[in-house]
Structure 1
Amino acid sequence: MLAPQSRFYESHGLRLHYADWGNHGAPVAILVHGGRDHCRSWDAIARSLRPHFHVLAPDLRGHGDSDWTKGGSYALTEYVYDLAQLIRSIAAPQVTLIGHSMGGMVSLIFSGSFPELVSKLVVLDGVTMLPDAPKAPTHERISKWVSQLDRLHDCTPRRYATLEDAAAQMVLHNKRLARDLALHLATHGSRRNEDGTYSWKFDPYQRASAPHRLWPDDHVALWSRITSPTLLLNAGESFLAGARAAGLERYFPQARIETIAGAGHWLQHDKPEEVLSEILRFLGLAEG
């Protein structure tokens, strides 16, 4: 079975990893994972897109086999910077972006900031900042952030006796997740400790909400600058149900907005065939 090559690049003084699925010379597609996930979460979609694209799947800073930041700073704009550095490092004139959850937000921000660099955009359950979301007072945001960092400082990473135990924990969080896929995700998403147990690769500090984050008006302004054809693929049973009710068509008049029925937030894992079919149709590719 086709497996990607591991490659690295530098951004912001960090050594960042990405999976390179080959097919050099073809148009570039970059698959951007969500929070507490990793690049090998995209394997099924990456294999299907490889005949048509040079597929790259980065591990965002603080995730997978990429470096953690010093000081635990993980604003969306920092992920955007890393994405910009990756695109520069491969000298791609344009890319197709496919992002899930937080990776969808990163892709939306990048596409609105650098519309000339994005040929097509696919966002999987990734509109996590609603246009009418309230903005808390500055002192409350800073106080919350300090409290989050204090709690994270005292946290001890959870340890699992086996990879199967780690996979079982993933299934507890997503009842739809097939056990073989859970084991695949745990295998690539955890590292072995000195005592033989396993812990997740992601930096716990990426859970903290930066007080200097972008806010609804910033996102709406960026969305209005997106010029590429866009597919917003929502999950019918996601905890982000507010996105479906937010009237996103007002902010994305040129986008195709579809919903995958019976899928939770990790729709590419819950309904892989349906998600892949929608992506291929949007990209103008025949399935098979």
Structure 2
Amino acid sequence: AVAAEAERLHQQRQHHLTATAATARRLADLTAEHQQHAEFALTPLGAAGLAAQLAALSAADDILQQKLGAASNQLAQDDTARERLAEGHRELQARQREEQRWQDLAEQIGSAKGDKFSQFAQGLTLSHLARLANLRLQQLTGRYTILKTPNRNLELQIIDHDQADTVRPMASLSGGESFLVSLALALGLSELAGYKARIESLFIDEGFGTLDPDSLNTALDALERLQHSGKMIGIISHVADLKERIGTQIRVQPGAGGNSTVRVVDVVGTETECCA
């Protein structure tokens, strides 16, 4: 029994020595690690100091998070303000364009006496008259086109297609050319004036004497087409060649003492004296 007890104590002593050696090695490792940390000098603070510093950093972080939230709100408000500013800028541009439109209109037709508006309205009417007259002018001659002078409300010009579409003033037309253009304008004016009231009659006083034979035939052909459309055409002229083209005539023959003889000639050539 004594031998068994001695053996047990011997084994217990060996275990104790082994544990002591392991503890010594662990202590050496921790001492070396502690020495290494001390050499790095990461912090001079102890555990209590580090805990206090961690608490202060946490509090500072909370404050920074609050500031970050406030900055985010400010950024959101800034985005909203920028959107409102952009919308206001677009609205301002739209109003400026509208203002410019009215300003341009005022420059064109605005005046204290109303004369600008009157000229502007007359210019629109003249443009419409030119379009109507050109339809008739094409029937008379294909050489010319009537043009309202740009930036001039009450002025007309002529485009000469036989001269590479040269724009000419009305005053440059010859007598025959002027008659054809005037006739086209008169016909256009009759259509313009007849917008609400039908004009059945058109009287032309002189002007045929300035036409050459071809221009005279062209003008009479146009008048005959106009007559066939239902209008009554009256021509006052001293041109003898017109007698062959006009069916019904009223001939005035001057007599002695300032008296005149008036005869009506119908389409078959029968003359009837009306008065003396």
- Tell me which interval the TM-score lies in, with the shorter structure as reference length: under 0.3
Looking at CA atoms only, which structure, 1 or 2, has the larger radius of gyration? 2
Provide TM-score, normalisation by structure 2: 0.22
Higher relative contact order (CA 8 A, sep 6+): 1
* Higher helix proportion: 2
